[in-house]
Amino acid sequence: MSKDNNSAISKDVAFGFLPAQKNDRVFGFWDLVLIQVGIGISCICILTGSYTGMLLNAKESLAAVLFGNAIPFFLIAPIILLFARFGVDTFIGFRSALGYLGSNIFYFIFMLLTIGYMSVAFFMAGEALVKIASVIGLPGFFVSSKTGAPFFAIIVFAIVFFITFQGPLVMRKFNLIGVPAILLVVLGLFLMLIFGIGLTKIFGLSPAEPYPGDHTRSFVTALEINVGLGFSWLPYLGQYARLARNEKTAFRAGFFSYGVIVNIAVIFGALSAIVVASVEPTDWMFAIAGSWAGAIGLVLLTIGNITAGTFLMYSQAISFKTVFPKKSWKFAMGTAIPTILLLLSASFYQAFGSFITVIAYIMAVFGGIVISDFFFVKKQKLSIKDLYDTNGNYYYWRGVNPSAIVSFIVGTIVYWSLYNPVMDTSSGLFYYISAGIPAYFTAGISYYISAKFIFSFHTDRVVEENTLVSKGKSAV
């Protein structure tokens, strides 16, 4: 790795760790929208849409996507104000609610989420390359999903690892190709669906794999899958909002990006799955576009997934260095290697529906906790000094906030009582209220009660004028 790239990595680590100063906050509304849409529109959105389209018809898919994504994101979006106001990264800002050790634990949960997302991106690229291999006539090993897809997925992982290891300078050059590639895939799907097939025909089609004789279950499950995507943006909200020119810009751009535009990719995924009757995005290209145009689409999809992988891998590694600054860049990059285990077969990739609903559970609970802490317990007043002093007021009990532990347990009980995403079983109440959103509110309410009336730490009870930053005032 060159000295310039080493310097760029060190700069990104310091920049992510320290509060953003006034002259660092250069992003306007459209700057943030373009960055966040470039990150947000990925294979994850397309695959979420495809699972929705396999369960519901077009009209119902639109409802499930818009309500399933927008409402959860609306519930967690206010936390953007924390990062925009104080200029801190996600894993620094969440120390207020989770404690210093608790925030580090949340990082490892984020790491598992990212490993899951990376494996989905790489395996989808592997499936795309298998189909390209069949077009150009490669031997049987390469055109079989059982052997070729894992092989190509691991090759893609190695490419992404190499690009990401070089640091942000190399990544940014590659992303000039990769981001337009995934946007072209979405645009291509739009043109082919709207003008090639027609909305009238699409809205007349039935879903391929609904729950037999249980339409309500199909709708609520599809809704829950989308709820998972909406809540899954929680760890990523602090990465760029902290660089916004003001809080209003950060909030509006975040909601417009993740809460609105990203849903377009999900909707196109749902409509494509309805048309082709397949959950696998790599099947859509040939079925909708034909052989050669489909092959070009698969190449673009592969490049787009490589780009998504570099975003995810770099985000994980740079956040690791931010949380554990004494560890080397090689060690930080090594945290991505377990992804290979999920690429050895299609099992995890095919269980995406269960994975995204597990994410709904985890991020819904954490979302309720951090929103309750910042807005209702701390009343938007935090101490920058204590966010960085690991022996300060946010030490709580052995570095973990007991109120967060209690709330996480309560939220877990509520979610899994309503829905078991691993076994895909549910209670009768799940049909009426789903699971992720009730878990969010339960965790938030229990956190407030616990922080105010049970453990009641000094920092949750007293606002000292000399140590806490007042509402609406900058921390830097």
Asked if residue 372 belongs to a domain, the reply is no
Structure token digits, residue 139: 């031997």
User: What was the pLDDT predicted at 26?
Assistant: 78
Q: CA–CA separation, 383 vs 139, rounded Å?
A: 62
Asked if residue 174 belongs to a domain, the reply is yes
Average pLDDT over residues 32-48: 81
pLDDT band, residue 10 (cuts 50/70/90): low
User: What was the pLDDT predicted at 6?
Assistant: 62
CA distances (Å), 466 to each of 20, 383, 469, in order?
22, 10, 8
What one-character-per-residue DSSP string does 176-234 give? HHHHHHHHHHHHHHHHIIIIII-HHHHTTPPPSSPPTT-HHHHHHHHHHHHHHHHHHTG
pLDDT tens column, 438-459: 999 999 999 999 999 999 898 8
pLDDT tens column, 227-266: 999 999 999 888 788 888 899 999 999 988 888 888 888 9
Q: CA–CA separation, 336 vs 242, rounded Å?
A: 25
SS3 397: strand
pLDDT band, residue 180 (cuts 50/70/90): confident
User: What was the pLDDT predicted at 465?
Assistant: 41
Mean pLDDT of the chain: 88
CA 83 to chain centre: 17
Higher pLDDT among residues 32 and 463, named by residue: 32
- Report yes or no: 89 and 388 within 8 Å, Cβ to Cβ: no
Q: CA–CA separation, 45 vs 283, rounded Å?
A: 16
Average pLDDT over residues 297-321: 86
Structure token digits, residue 446: 């229990």
Q: CA–CA separation, 321 vs 327, rounded Å?
A: 7
CATH number for the domain spanning 192: value is: 1.10.4160.10
User: What was the pLDDT predicted at 209?
Assistant: 94
Average pLDDT over residues 143-157: 95
∠ CA 128-266-157, nearest 5°, is 35
Residue 16 pLDDT > 70, yes or no?
Answer: no
Structure token digits, residue 268: 């196109």
**What percent of the chain lies above the pLDDT cut of 70?**
91
Asked if residue 387 belongs to a domain, the reply is no
Can you say whether the dihedral through the CA atoms of 369, 372, 373, 374 is positive or negative?
A: positive
Structure token digits, residue 143: 């055109």
Q: For the whole prediction, is pTM greater than 0.85?
A: yes
If one counts the domains in the chain, the total is 1
- Report yes or no: 52 and 64 within 8 Å, Cβ to Cβ: yes
Asked if residue 465 belongs to a domain, the reply is no
pLDDT band, residue 423 (cuts 50/70/90): very high
CA distances (Å), 197 to each of 49, 280, 289, 323, in order?
18, 19, 11, 50
pLDDT tens column, 81-92: 999 999 888 999
Asked if residue 359 belongs to a domain, the reply is no
Residue 467 pLDDT > 60, yes or no?
Answer: no
Structure token digits, residue 55: 């369960």
Q: Whole-angstrom distance between the N-terminal and C-terminal Cα of the chain?
A: 34
Domain of 10, in residue numbers: 3-353
SS3 425: strand
CA 287 to chain centre: 29
User: What was the pLDDT predicted at 452?
Assistant: 94
Asked if residue 419 belongs to a domain, the reply is no
Q: Which helix (H) or strand (E) holds 419?
A: strand 419-420
pLDDT tens column, 389-399: 888 999 999 99
Q: CA–CA separation, 207 vs 203, rounded Å?
A: 10
Q: CA–CA separation, 44 vs 344, rounded Å?
A: 19
Alpha carbons within 13 A on the beta-carbon side of 232: 25
Residue 274 pLDDT > 90, yes or no?
Answer: yes
Asked if residue 404 belongs to a domain, the reply is no
Q: If you count them, how many residues does the chain have?
A: 476
pLDDT band, residue 466 (cuts 50/70/90): very low
Average pLDDT over residues 183-187: 80
Packing angle of the helix pair 58-76, 352-371 (nearest 10 deg):
30
Average pLDDT over residues 327-338: 92
Asked if residue 222 belongs to a domain, the reply is yes
User: What was the pLDDT predicted at 74?
Assistant: 93
Q: CA–CA separation, 234 vs 232, rounded Å?
A: 5
